[in-house]
Amino acid sequence: MIIVTGAAGFIGSNLVHALNGRGEKDIVAVDNLTRADKFRNLVDCEIADYVDKRDLVAMLPGLERVRAIFHQGACSDTMETDGRYMMENNFRYSMALLEYAAARGIPFIYASSAAVYGSSQRFVEQREFEQPLNVYGYSKFLFDQIVRRRLPANASQIVGLRYFNVYGPRETHKGRMASVAFHNFGQFRDEGKVRLFGGWDGWGAGEQSRDFIHVDDVVAVNLFFLDHPQASGIFNLGTGLAQPFNDVAATVVNTMRSLAGEPVLGHAELVAGGLLEYVPFPDALKGKYQSFTQADMARLRAIGYQAPFATVQQGVSRYVEWLNARS
């Protein structure tokens, strides 16, 4: 069997769906359905069992034939201020799963985060570039440090994937923590325009740039490591190309315009036409915001992953078409 934590969540449900596509159905889906609407992400998936997150650790000694653990579950709210909850949920829980997997030689593939880099201007998997700005980033950072110490002596696979800005299907339940592409789509559908942050910290309006990666590419890398159990380590998972929020907004608007039979517009035309506007940068985010992220992908490429990644124009356009078909 394969255990997937966070299975009803965004990346976890896409991973379960992809495993099903490979014929894998002996899957134990682990999650917390206190927010029950997440169940919709699993309706079109095949699983062998569902286990509440709080019950999994106690059940682990009785589970047999576990082939791999994909640990995708976590609290990913970068504005969460309850550090005790964050460390218990993200760090201590991850430690329990790691101990179980390591003791039994089970491949353990887990979700880390680009939030570990925080205010750094370089995004390389090395300790000197890791400067988390919030307790979420710190919870991921600390677990990564434990893994680093374990890797040299661990006989079985341990892989940490530092997700950058992931977007794509099955994220509706995330609310305000959903991707900028999702929110841009909702704004344009409901109001006929998209709003972005204005300039701050040396960046022009809408020019803050992130490494945006489609969830299909994230899933493909997870499955690559399932197929290559000899590969271990901590790896960035972005596209290696930072693109401005303006690119995301323009792609959303122009995809919607194309679907309506309307011509594509350039940035200046979008602004002049009121289809794209800017709001003052929020005071609450100053000093806590990553204005630029771009994954250094050398380590993942060196391990043998060579598939291309979707650009914002490719991936966001595909995602908007998916959202529009369901709205």
**Which residues are catalytic, by number?**
136, 174
Give the helix/strand (H/E) hosting 161. strand 158-163
Q: Distance between CA 162 and CA 294 in Å, rounded?
A: 12
Compute the CA torsion angle 249, 287, 82, 160 (nearest 10 deg).
70
Phi and psi for 292 in degrees, rounded to 5?
A: -150, 130
Q: Distance between CA 45 and CA 51 in Å, rounded?
A: 15
Q: Distance between CA 57 and CA 65 in Å, rounded?
A: 16
CB-based contacts of 203, cutoff 8 Å, min separation 6? 209, 291, 292
Structure tokens at 242: 């930072």
221-228: Cβ within 8 A, 24+ apart? 221/161, 221/300, 221/305, 222/15, 222/70, 222/109, 222/161, 223/15, 223/18, 223/19, 223/22, 224/304, 224/305, 225/107, 225/109, 225/157, 225/159, 225/161, 226/68, 226/70, 226/107, 226/109, 228/303, 228/304
